[in-house]
Amino acid sequence: MKSVTFRQLRVFTEVARHLSFSRAAESLHLTPPAVTMQVKELESHVGLPLFERQGRQVQLTMGGEYFLVYAKRLMSTLKDAENVMARFKRVETGVLTIGLLSTAGYFLPSLLARFRAEHPGVDVRLDVTRDLTKLLDRLHSNEIDLAVMGRPPREYALRSEPFAGHPMVFVCPPGHPLLSVGHPPIEALVHYPLIARELGSEVRHALDNYLREHRLAPRVAMEIPSNETVKASIMAGLGIGFLSLHAVAAELRGGQLQIIEFEDTPVMRTWNLVHEASKVLSPAAEAFRYLMLEHGDALIAEQASQLLAAKPTTLPSDPTASGRV
């Protein structure tokens, strides 16, 4: 396999990631025939088929699954070497890939805009997922340089640096009975259905801890793996919700949702900037890390304080309430 090229390995790992030649071609900005040719050349060097093709369905062969492990290691080592050389040259160009959980997408663009203004030579790419396990896997395989998430699991060899507070709040639609009480007792929560994020999500973990600390067991009416669907369900009057303050910013400003000021809320967690403990960061990644650690907390805290202090916009009255159509 001495003739295998890193270009072939890159194409192979992309096809393996998407399990699609056409989607890999889009990701790599190549034509599908070019991707097919690279894979065929790699298979000839390896001496084994790496993919099974049945129509449009693509699957890794057993040999392909084993080879993928080593291909990722080689690609990761090459990326580390590039980062080290870039540090010697002190170059802030190239591609910076940032992984993030979907909730972070509500505030990260404003920080990215500032970063791009200060470092126009860096091409920033975002890798967004709702699945923490996938995000950690991409960190481990060196597919992303840095990740924005809550506190990562301790069993991973990661360097985690908190950079900002992460407030989470209970919300309801305007006119909800609990809003008539300035600071309703938390025990009142058990009298209303609760719409929650799915088990395993960071928001759900924070909610379960809060309820455990207050010895409450309200009825969870719905579990939904999407912030947007949770918000839509709350606005439809299906129950009270618990979400990141960042996720409900637009709805709070527009008056479609309002915060219920229960005891010991907002529930505070932290946002963390995470990377592999053994990874050498590129100059671009170091510049982004500096921005987040130095300015992230102030920018995000300012946004949060405005949301918590703002009064909701008055919504148009319902014409059907007075019998008008």
pLDDT digits (tens, 9 = 90+) for 72-121: 888 878 877 776 776 655 656 678 899 998 888 888 888 888 888 888 88
pLDDT value, residue 321: 32
The pair of three-digit structure tokens given for residue 201, joined into one six-digit string: 């999500």
Which ranges of the chain does DSSP label H, i.e. alpha helix? Answer: 6-18, 21-28, 32-46, 62-89, 108-118, 132-140, 202-213, 227-235, 249-254, 283-291, 297-309
Q: Residue 54: what pLDDT?
A: 81
> For residue 276, what is the DSSP state?
E
Q: Label residue 309 exposed, middle or buried (CB < 10 Å: 0-12, 13-18, 19+).
A: exposed
194-197 and 94-101 beta bridge pairing: unpaired
- Between CA 115 and CA 193 the distance in angstroms is 42
Report pLDDT digits (tens) over 144-171.
999 998 878 777 788 899 988 889 999 9
Q: How do residues 170-228 score in pLDDT, each as one tens digit?
A: 999 999 999 988 789 989 999 999 999 998 888 898 999 999 999 999 999 999 988 99
11 phi and psi, to 5 degrees?
Answer: -65, -45
Q: Which residues contact 310 (CB under 8 A, 6 or more apart)?
A: 252, 253
Query: What is the DSSP secondary structure assignment for residue 190, as one 8-state letter?
Result: G
Residue from 176, 311, 315 nearest 234 by CA: 176
User: Considering Cα of 191, then 192, then 193, then 197, what sign does the dihedral take?
Assistant: negative
User: Is residue 255 left, alpha or beta, with left meaning phi > 0 and alpha meaning psi from -120 to 50?
Assistant: left
Q: What's the rounded Cα separation, in Å, for the pair 161 and 292? A: 10
